[in-house]
Amino acid sequence: MSSTEIDRQWTTRLRHRVAHRLPPEKMLPDTQPAYVASWIYVFGVTTLSAFAVVVLSGFILALKGPQWWHVSGIGHFVNSLHLWSVEIFFFAMVIHLWGKYFMAAWRGGRSLTWVTGVVTFLVSIATAFTGYVSQTNFDSQWISTQAKDGINSTGAGSFFNVLNFGQMLMWHIVLLPLAAVVLTGLHVLMVRAKGVVPPFEEKEEAR
């Protein structure tokens, strides 16, 4: 095979593209710019850490099932761990969103980073909602019956039936987490490729 033919292979082209956009020193950096030394920059990684706990506790809940998380002491604990890690996840993600909004973090060719963050936020809300209706208790019955009219009024009820427990559970533990993990991965890779957005330049007269 000639070198020209090798260069035309999609694997070669993809490898060159990835190596160009995400060299190892960008992918796994050992230093960050001085402006990152601020508390406002910790909420992205706080969100990621909480997300890891959400997924891990979700795995355990899926393994053991509803009877376990409703009646056993350790089941209650893991159920609470899942709930409170979600609370921290959203708490940190909203502060991350506010911080990035006021930094205009879409500057410098970072628009797709912003967009993937926004879409991940929306997917996370849907994931949390399907989780609330999958608890298998009176709370989930109340939430689903209250939500059905709102969702049906949008037309989405034709394919997204909040009273269909099996469907909601599958959305909650398969489709939406998969989307959240993929989108979060893309979001983090984009941050690595472009770097953390720098602060606004100080105006001359303000110095």
Partner 1 sequence: MAESLLAALVSLNGPGHYFHWHWIDISYANLTVIALMVVTFVAALFVPFPGRRHKKETK
CA dihedral 11, 12, 16, 21 (to 10 degrees): -10
Size of interface with partner 1, in residues (CB under 8 A) = 13
Q: Check binding of 39 to partner 1 (CB under 8 A).
A: yes
Residue 42 touching partner 1 (CB under 8 A)? yes
Is residue 98 part of the contact set for partner 1 (CB under 8 A)? yes
Residues 144 and 162: beta-carbon distance below 8 Å: yes
Helix, strand, coil abundance in the chain, percent, nearest 5? 80, 0, 20
Out of 1, 28, 34, 71, name the contact with partner 1 by CB under 8 A.
34
| Interaction between residue 68 and partner 1 (CB under 8 A) | no
CB atoms within 10 A of CB 117: 24
Nearest-approach distance from CB 45 to partner 1, in angstroms: 13
Q: Could you say which DSSP state residue 155 is in?
A: T
Q: Which stretch binds partner 1 (CB under 8 A): 30-38, 48-56, 119-127, 161-169?
A: 30-38
What is the pattern of x (binds partner 1, CB under 8 A) and - over residues 109-148?
----------------------------------------
Using CB under 8 A, pick the residue from 21, 22, 40, 140 that binds partner 1: 40
CA distances from 74 to 17, 52, 68, 71, 139 (A): 48, 19, 8, 9, 21
Tell me the H-state helices in 33-137. 43-64, 66-71, 73-102, 111-132
x-or-dash string of contact with partner 1, 70-89, rule CB under 8 A: -----------------x--
**Residues of the shown chain interacting with partner 1 in the complex, contacts defined by CB under 8 A:** 34, 37-40, 42-43, 87, 91, 94-95, 98-99
